[in-house]
Structure 1
């Protein structure tokens, strides 16, 4: 902590993701609002935890990734980065908190320091008679969903290797999140309003009345910001999800194209919309080293296409083509687009509000089938803390359990009713697409 306080100012600016997050946190703080900012990753382990071994691997993880070596302060509205000169100064120490209730544990996790503090992360274990639960609470400032892979490998697997007396795991040299930030800012400095990607972003915003896409059903709030609540539903079991993916492939699409098609069909059914519009996040990691680097490396792809009376196969192919053709737009931060478009009458000044649909398959990069198996066997889970959000967010996860949906929406009865209608219709659209191929899977099962 003392070394962090003495860390000098760096010329490397925060990434656009980090800068937006820090400004949003400060705005929430000034309004005395909580912010949904923590990624809480948990899994279960057998036996009794060895605190020395666990402390060793957690310390190694923090030293390995340079995103943890930075902290930020605000000076006259500008975000300034400080960097620890020597990663070896980071040394975690275990602290025993004694017996706790569930409420005590929740308070401890939610008290993870704010993103302007260097130590905006917490790691710990809950020891029980028959095993223990590991947890990591990391501010979004330093991580995106791919942190699951890093924690499973660099903490879970490394911890087991230490206990078994094996040598250090050969993890491969990670990339630098500082380099990611610097490269992003360098590209941004060379980007102009005339660049094709910026032009396509502005056209997308123009088609949505100068803003991000709006959710199809009533939310009961006129403001962009609201206290969020969450719903979690298992949409498709594993065998049915396999059939759904086969239906997507038969249409010339991948799962993301099929899921976007189902969302479009849902909006057509519930709201009569003839055009579907949404943003979907994707990783902006582009190299093998980048895929070994934890940090916030996510951009969003703008999606919109006509729905009309088209069928699932037609929409799945259209959505997939839309996604693939616009994937490069994720490398242009929406905050940069709005900076460049300031003053244009067709574009609003902020990117808040709207709706986001995210899909992540834990069986493929940046995770893997191996990590997915480990995650499933360890009963792994990811949580986020409740707080103010600025959009309707829908997260779809493909695991060995199948397909699940988690959604965040305004905490009021109107939005709750709308989201429950939406989730039911979306699940129905996914099942209907899968049903066409389910008999084939049943036949294969009988042959085996």
Structure 2
């Protein structure tokens, strides 16, 4: 399961059908009738940014989308039943947000009152036509301030169907996407056979958010729980770790984006890379971070790697199979000494990660509000920030079926002032998706970084696989690179 631009989706044309979630309690998308609970800090910041930018000429907008395949002729009734069951299963998908005395709260519509309205969107004869339509459709329909907060549909063909869903970030994160595919695909199979789906129990993100909010709302800037953030900020000289290479951006300005994706290592190379990292005392994601840190250092970056890293808050309990924004964002830092070998670098990453996890409970947005209040009112991060994300899709629910479902994830956002890097590991290899500002300097910088990173991870993999090293690796730097010039990129808390 990979993440790449929607415009690069390899899909066949067909007939498009959409389903819109509706409730008799919300004829105009008004407030839900249920008991209000407090939104999470991530949700509050995201919603506030949308509110503040709505009247401007450059409003904040974003979505996260997922697609997957259902083989064989489509059973329309079964898919509709599966989609409705999915919306009823995850409370966050049927909630509406509202301001209560300045605080953001949410209330959910009763699951039994929900229904779907189907609409035929027409026959598309080319894959490009499908991709263009969906990209524009998601931009036009996904709105943080309007209910429902996600869209559902399918590209129907005689022998297969591509199911698609797009969500506002306020109701989900990247780790939710495999759960979306797992739930709907299993519910569809059960409906086709006339039985109830057998899905694992799941908790509600609204409960998680309300508990988190109550726990940390009284936090103050002097609280000892913020010592890790304070000491990091003192060492770094800033709350946000800057992206260490030149992107050619002007202070205070947002830019259109370039959305790129590529495969850094194929399946065999990635397997060798993973083994080298384990043999050197680390985990594969630590090896990727070490390789990136070395590549940045070789490109002129500092001798201390600093970045923001999203960390899942799901654990193995009731949230593992939930849809929601279960992400905290934490600072990580470690030295990158010239000539350091992999075991030494991995030891630094391992120690930095362990220290980070010791303090992972404090919500990023709350720390931001208390320790960097001069930046908190802005609708985006104040300058280009170094951001690193890694997900091993092989560990996600339903991964054993990914070869049949062929799931893909897609991220879009309206504007950016920096660069964000997401790494995914699946059965086909190690992949990277990058969103960065569309400036001439950023294009040069990011192309050079990709080349250096590819060379570094292949050298690590080659230590165990006998891969060819040297300049010939650089010729692979642009293979498989998918470019999207769209409207824009990430703001607010991490994904």
Tell me, yes or no, if structure 1 residue 262 matches structure 2 residue 291: yes
Match status 1:92 vs 2:86: no
Q: Contact 1:235/1:405 (CA < 8 Å) preserved in 2?
A: yes
Q: Partner residue of 1:446?
A: none
Q: Hey, what's the Cα distance between the residues in 1 that align with 2:260 and 2:73?
A: 34
Shift of 1:281: 0.7
- Tell me, in whole angstroms, the C-alpha distance in 2 between the residues paired with 1:386 and 1:181: 24
Instruction: Measure, in 1, the Cα distance between the counterparts of 2:190 and 2:260.
Output: 37
5 Å-filtered alignment, 1:32-111, equals 32-33=57-58, 35-74=60-99, 78-84=103-109, 86-100=110-124, 101-102=129-130, 103-111=132-140
Partner of 1:437: 464
Residue 445 of structure 1 corresponds to: none
Paired residues of 2:92 and 2:171 also in contact (CA < 8 A) = yes
Instruction: Tell me which of 25, 30, 35 is aligned to 1:3.
Output: 25
Where does residue 331 of structure 1 map in the other structure?
361
Which residue, out of 375, 383, 394, partners 1:363?
A: 394
1:25 aligns with 2:47: no
In the alignment, which of 281, 304, 316 is matched to residue 333 of structure 2?
304
Specify the alignment match of 1:154 in structure 2.
Answer: 183
Name the CA shift for 1:178/1:164 in 2 (closer, same or farther; >3 Å).
same
Give the Å deviation of 1:71.
1.1
Superposition deviation, residue 34 in structure 1: 5.2
SS at match of 1:331: coil
Partner of 2:119: helix, strand, or coil? coil
1:155-194 to structure 2, matched below 5 A, reads: 155-165=184-194, 167-194=195-222
Alignment of 1:115-130 (within 5 A): 115-130=144-159
Aligned counterparts of 1:130 and 1:436: Cα–Cα separation in 2: 45
Q: What is the CA-CA distance between 1:439 and the residue it aligns to?
A: 4.1
Match of 1:443 in 2: none
Contact 1:277 1:304 in 2 (8 A): yes
Tell me how far 1:256 sits from its aligned partner: 1.8
Task: State the 1:381 CA deviation.
Answer: 1.1
Point out where structure 1 has 5 or more consecutive residues left out of the alignment.
441-448
Residue in structure 2 matched with residue 278 of structure 1 by the alignment: 307
In 1: Cα distance, 2:414 partner to 2:359 partner: 29
TM superposition score normalised by structure 2:
0.82
Residue in 1 that maps onto 2:447: 420
Deviation at 1:327, TM superposition (A): 1.4
Per the TM alignment, residue 72 of structure 1 is displaced from its structure 2 partner at its CA by 1.5
Ranges in structure 2 where 5+ consecutive residues have no aligned partner: 1-22, 468-495
Question: CA offsets, 1:331-350, max 9 Å, x none?
Answer: 2122211333367xxx8656
Are the aligned partners of 2:291 and 2:453 in contact in 1 as well (CA < 8 Å)? yes
Task: Give the Cα–Cα distance (whole angstroms) in 1 for the partners of residues 134 and 293 of structure 2.
Answer: 40
Residue by residue, what CA displacement relative to the aligned partner does 1:353-375 show, whole Å, maximum 9, x if unpaired? Answer: 312110000112xx14xx22422
- Is residue 64–residue 166 contact of structure 2 (8 Å, CA) maintained in 1? yes
Q: Distance in 2 between matches of 1:34 and 1:402?
A: 36
Measured after TM superposition, the shift of residue 196 of structure 1 is 4.1
Q: State whether residues 90 and 204 of structure 2, in contact with CA within 8 Å, keep that contact through their aligned partners in structure 1.
A: yes
Whole-Å separation in 2 of the counterparts to 1:303 and 1:31: 34
- CA separation in 2, counterparts of 1:415 and 1:264? 18
Q: CA deviation at 1:246?
A: 1.0
Distance 1:45 1:73, change over 3 A: same
Cα root mean square deviation, aligned? 2.2
Kept after mapping to 2: 8 A contact 1:376/1:400: no
For residues 414 and 439 of structure 1, what CA distance do their matches in structure 2 show?
35
Q: Is 1:238 matched up with 2:237?
A: no
8 Å CA contact retained: 1:356, 1:391? no
2-structure distance, mates of 1:265, 1:82: 47
Local SS of the residue matching 1:32: coil
Describe the superposition over 1:190-227 as per-residue Cα deviations: whole angstroms up to 9, x where unpaired: 53434444111122223332231111211111235332
- Of Structure 1 and Structure 2, the greater helix share is in 1
User: Alignment partner of 1:94: what SS?
Assistant: strand
Contact 1:73 1:116 (8 Å CA) reproduced: no
Matches within 5 A, 1:397-412: 397-412=424-439
Contact 2:94 2:148 in 1 (8 A): no
Count how many residue pairs are aligned between Structure 1 and Structure 2.
431
Following the alignment from structure 1 to structure 2, what is the Cα–Cα distance between the partners of residues 196 and 314? 31
